[in-house]
Chain A
Amino acid sequence: MSDIRQTPLHNWHVRQGGRMVDFAGWRMPVQYSGLMDEHVAVRGRAGLFDVSHMGEIRLRGNDALAMVQRLTVNDASIIEDGQAQYTAMVNDEGGIIDDLLVYRMAADEYLLVVNAGTTAKDYQWIESHLQGDVTIANESDDWAQVALQGPAAAAVLSRVVELDLATIGYYRFVVHQYGGQPAIISRTGYTGEDGFEIYLAPAQATEFADAILEAGHDDGVIPAGLGARDTLRLEAGMMLYGNDMDENRSPIEAKLGWIVKPDKGDFIGRDALVRQKTEGTAERIVAFKAVGRGIPRHGYTLLDGQGNRVGEVTSGTFSPTLKEGIGMGYVETALASAEIQIFIEMRGKSVEARTVKPPFYRRQQ
């Protein structure tokens, strides 16, 4: 691995008392006041996350849409200017290269927002498949990104940017400006709450973060770290690339069949995914809750009622909202539906768990 990198907000994190750890090649805050505090703040008020480690790759040209269609499993032709789409890139076998957001900036311009640890790999993959009138630019160093998430997010953000946020629907965005520099304000997130992801010029990130905390002070807005981001996304039933998905798992196995659109035409991995859709897969991901005290952790073995190994926990945590152990993992397909008793081997003990239909937590509308 190359050197550990710092985001434009590094000094801000240190000033805010962030506990810095290495994550996906970046020095990131895992927590500030405490994971539980931050989790509760996001569910009840709002939290501000630095997600500048995420990658941004731009495709431009008359064939940009054709390229996105070939590289991703969802149908990007249905989104309009100012709309974002959750999708995945897969290889010829259907294995997930990355999950990502596609932003339609214009008919001939798309911004792909990819995971931090996969940005270099994704860029190479996309570049190696470029065809026709399209150029690629890795803009990851040109953008800071923060996420303001929680029920108070819209009210607080409206005090900092001059925009009518009510006009930005879910998975919609506006190209705006902050501090005289371009800014993208997107109603997306990874917490299960209402909120925004804001893309900024790196030089503006600190001023923006300070402005949000000041504007949100009376609402109890606090900085939140990767620890809370992980518990929030897991409660919301969202998967994490590298844990719950990788190149050995397909969107069908990951129960992301809803983003796979074979009818849109040919794309990389289409044949494999169509086959999996019709013939099924040996394993699927499933969500579960521990019965009683016990917290599923990444790597723990999943067992059936007879004690046979049926899979492994890919993500697990104590749910701060539900006050119980929750997790997900791949199991044989027969066990991958709700209300099935399974067991989790926790440090030599077999602990009962029950499969559930995700999400574990759904916000009140």
Chain B
Amino acid sequence: MSPAWRCRTEEFAMADYPDNYQYTAEHEWVSVDGDVGTIGITHHAQDELGDVVFVELPEVGASFEQNAPFGTIESVKAVSDLYAPVSGEVVEINEELVDRPEIVNEDPHGSAWMVRIKFSDPGQIDALLTASDYQALTQE
């Protein structure tokens, strides 16, 4: 585990949430590129879960309604559902998570993305949280 993620100062947390991502109260992020969104879990979520040991993802081609569970993530101490931040069809999954689930702890907002979903209702994106809204939520 890299020393960087052990650092839990406010400064690190503030700097760590990309402004160009959207966030959900279920601790997921979405990075939008046209009609496709890349989805992962937040730094806060991985920190709460602790050492991630399994990530179970859907098949490419599967469709999910907004807020429906699309997979699960397990750490040593807990298991959690992954919820679709928006409705749509899975067009790609991150196969690397099968063999290297620990990257969720190391790089939650980057290489540990989980799925790419083609939006069926792009309007849902606008209702998601901004980086500052999300951080306010996690600091409540």
Give 26 pairs: A residue, B residue, CB < 8 Å, sorted on A: A17-B6, A33-B6, A34-B1, A34-B50, A34-B51, A35-B50, A35-B77, A36-B1, A36-B50, A36-B51, A36-B76, A37-B1, A227-B76, A227-B77, A293-B54, A293-B56, A295-B54, A295-B79, A318-B53, A318-B74, A318-B75, A320-B51, A320-B76, A323-B53, A347-B72, A347-B79
Task: Determine if A31 is an interface residue (Cβ-Cβ < 8 Å).
Answer: yes
- What residues of chain A lie closer than 8 Å to B8, measured between beta carbons? 17
- What residues of chain A lie closer than 8 Å to B51, measured between beta carbons? 34-36, 320
User: Is the Cβ of A231 less than 8 Å from the Cβ of B72?
Assistant: no
- Residues of B65-119 whose CB lies within 8 A of A: 72, 74-77, 79
Which of A33, A34, A295, A297 touches B53 (beta carbons < 8 Å)? A295
User: Is the Cβ of A35 less than 8 Å from the Cβ of B76?
Assistant: yes
User: Is the Cβ of A34 less than 8 Å from the Cβ of B79?
Assistant: no
Q: How many residues of A contact B (CB 8 A)?
A: 17
B53 closest partner in A (C-beta)? A318
Task: Determine if A317 is an interface residue (Cβ-Cβ < 8 Å).
Answer: yes
B1-44: CB near A (< 8 Å → 1, else 0) gives 10000101000000000000000000000000000000000000
* A320→B75 CA distance, assembly (Å): 11
A186-207: CB near B (< 8 Å → 1, else 0) gives 0000000000000000000000
- Residues of A54-78 whose CB lies within 8 A of B: none
User: Is the Cβ of B54 less than 8 Å from the Cβ of A317?
Assistant: no
- Distance in angstroms from B98 CB to nearest chain A CB is 9
- What residues of chain B lie closer than 8 Å to A17, measured between beta carbons? 6, 8
Which 3 A-B pairs rank lowest in CB-CB distance, beginning with the nearest? A36-B51, A318-B53, A318-B76
Which residues on A are within 8 Å of B, measured CB to CB?
Answer: 17, 31, 33-37, 227, 231, 293, 295, 297, 317-318, 320, 323, 347
* A231→B79 CA distance, assembly (Å): 15
- Distance in angstroms from A333 CB to nearest chain B CB is 30
User: Is the Cβ of B6 less than 8 Å from the Cβ of A34?
Assistant: yes
* A34→B77 CA distance, assembly (Å): 11
- Distance in angstroms from A299 CB to nearest chain B CB is 12
* A31→B54 CA distance, assembly (Å): 20
Q: Which interface residue of B1, B8, B77, B79 has the most chain A CB atoms within 10 A?
A: B77
A226 closest partner in B (C-beta)? B77
* A295→B75 CA distance, assembly (Å): 9
- What residues of chain A lie closer than 8 Å to B72, measured between beta carbons? 347
- What residues of chain B lie closer than 8 Å to A317, measured between beta carbons? 76-77
User: Is the Cβ of B1 less than 8 Å from the Cβ of A227?
Assistant: no
9 extra A-B contacts, CB within 8 A, seeds A31-B50, A34-B50: A17-B6, A33-B6, A34-B1, A227-B76, A227-B77, A293-B56, A295-B54, A318-B54, A320-B51
User: Is the Cβ of A231 less than 8 Å from the Cβ of B54?
Assistant: no
User: Is the Cβ of B54 less than 8 Å from the Cβ of A227?
Assistant: no
* A242→B61 CA distance, assembly (Å): 45
- Distance in angstroms from A344 CB to nearest chain B CB is 12
- Distance in angstroms from A291 CB to nearest chain B CB is 14
- What residues of chain B lie closer than 8 Å to A323, measured between beta carbons? 53
- Distance in angstroms from A84 CB to nearest chain B CB is 30
- What residues of chain A lie closer than 8 Å to B1, measured between beta carbons? 33-34, 36-37
- What residues of chain A lie closer than 8 Å to B50, measured between beta carbons? 31, 34-36, 227
* A181→B64 CA distance, assembly (Å): 64
* A79→B75 CA distance, assembly (Å): 42
- Distance in angstroms from A275 CB to nearest chain B CB is 39
* A3→B77 CA distance, assembly (Å): 26
* A317→B72 CA distance, assembly (Å): 16
Which of A33, A231, A293, A347 touches B76 (beta carbons < 8 Å)? A231
* A5→B30 CA distance, assembly (Å): 42
* A34→B76 CA distance, assembly (Å): 10
User: Is the Cβ of B79 less than 8 Å from the Cβ of A297?
Assistant: yes
* A227→B76 CA distance, assembly (Å): 9
- What residues of chain B lie closer than 8 Å to A293, measured between beta carbons? 54, 56
- Distance in angstroms from A283 CB to nearest chain B CB is 26
B6 closest partner in A (C-beta)? A33
* A293→B57 CA distance, assembly (Å): 13
- What residues of chain A lie closer than 8 Å to B6, measured between beta carbons? 17, 33-34
- Distance in angstroms from B95 CB to nearest chain A CB is 15
* A231→B6 CA distance, assembly (Å): 21
Q: Which interface residue of B8, B53, B74, B79 has the most chain A CB atoms within 10 A?
A: B53
* A40→B24 CA distance, assembly (Å): 34
- What residues of chain B lie closer than 8 Å to A37, measured between beta carbons? 1
* A17→B54 CA distance, assembly (Å): 26
